[in-house]
Amino acid sequence: MQPAFSGVNSFPIPTLYNPSILSYNKKPLICINVVEVVLLALVDKLGSLTLGLLREMGSMLNFLVYAIYKIITRPGKPIHIYKQIHFIGAKSFFVIFLTASFTGMVLGLQGYYTLAKFGSEGMLGAAVALSLVRELGPVLAALMVTGRAGSAITAEIGIMNITEQIDALRTMALEPIKYLVAPKIIGALIAVPLLCAIFDVVGIYGGYLVGVKLLGVNPGAYFHEMEKSVAWKDVYSGFIKSISFGIIISWVCCYKGYHASRGAEGVSRATTSAVVMSSVMILIWDYFLTSVLL
């Protein structure tokens, strides 16, 4: 669709392009018009970008609402959902384990030297656990799932789109959103919070390894302070975050794949865009949720 206002073409001062007026040698007028034309082109570009953005946002929201409607009214066969939980969850286990352990270890290291300045190394367990449970666990687990499973989801649906496999589903009178998108959203909704839980536990033990085994913090103090400081609210706010991140990842990645076009390059562009957009949305949404849940 053309934007409502299309800049230089529709604005009635095309003096610069009119040779008959140029021949009058009205130089100052031409200079003014150059500025006007450039400004108009800028406004035009800005307008079309804004309209494009609004259209994309509307289309994405529509996609999500329709997928949720399908999930509620006609949930697919459980086997499709199990497959997605396995793909998004079980297959991401190793990368989550690795990331979580090193994050916990770094937190243990950094936390120990910072807390040592105040003579409160015993608080290390609380510091590591709170950082992980409230913030780093949900966010980093979601970012890792985006990189590993989200990109694969976009590429899979994108390739199905450009090779007419989605059209093939339609010709069989089967609803692509129900078969392709709904199971992935449910799968992510279940798998991401579980991965977040694994991230938290592994991270806490990573911090324990460095803090207690390497730097000599008292193990009793490590766990005691943790138990004292971490409240149920910290845990459930982390889970609320990871549930919403699961929706964001599956929604954005499925949408981008579903609308991929123009061959292999289109799919690669869609994949990049899905990963970038999911990651940015996770971070922005994290800020809003944190400010609400605090």
Partner 1 sequence: MKTVMGTAINVLRKTTGFKPEKRATQHGPSMIKLENVTKAFDGQVVLDKLNLDITTGKITSIIGPSGEGKSVLLKHMIGLLRPNSGVVVVDGEVISAMRGSVLNQAREKFGMLFQNAALFDSMTVFENVAFPLEEKTRLTKEEIRDRVREALAHVGLKGVDKKYPDMLSGGMKKRVGLARALLLNPKIILFDEPTTGLDPIICRAIHQLIKDTHRRFGYTAVIVSHEIPEIFDISDHVAMLYKGQILEKRTPKEIQRSNHPVVRQFISGSLEGPIRLVT
**Rule CB under 8 A: which residues touch partner 1?**
77, 156, 159-160, 163-165, 167-168, 170-175, 179
Give the shortest CB-265-to-partner 1 separation in angstroms.
18
Per the listing, tokens 């490590």 go with 222
Q: How many beta carbons lie within 10 A of that of residue 294, not counting itself?
A: 8
Nearest CB to partner 1, comparing residues 10 and 18: 10
Nearest CB to partner 1, comparing residues 83 and 148: 83
Give the shortest CB-170-to-partner 1 separation in angstroms.
6
Nearest CB to partner 1, comparing residues 135 and 175: 175
Nearest CB to partner 1, comparing residues 77 and 233: 77
Nearest CB to partner 1, comparing residues 72 and 172: 172
Nearest CB to partner 1, comparing residues 109 and 152: 152
Give the shortest CB-83-to-partner 1 separation in angstroms.
10
Per the listing, tokens 């459930």 go with 236
Helical packing angle, 151-162 and 232-258, nearest 10°: 20
Are 124 and 220 spatial neighbours (Cβ–Cβ below 8 Å)? Answer: no
Give the shortest CB-76-to-partner 1 separation in angstroms.
9
Quote the tokens at residue 184: 């992935």
CA-based R_g, the chain, Å: 26
Give the shortest CB-186-to-partner 1 separation in angstroms.
17
Per the listing, tokens 């990651």 go with 279
Give the shortest CB-154-to-partner 1 separation in angstroms.
15
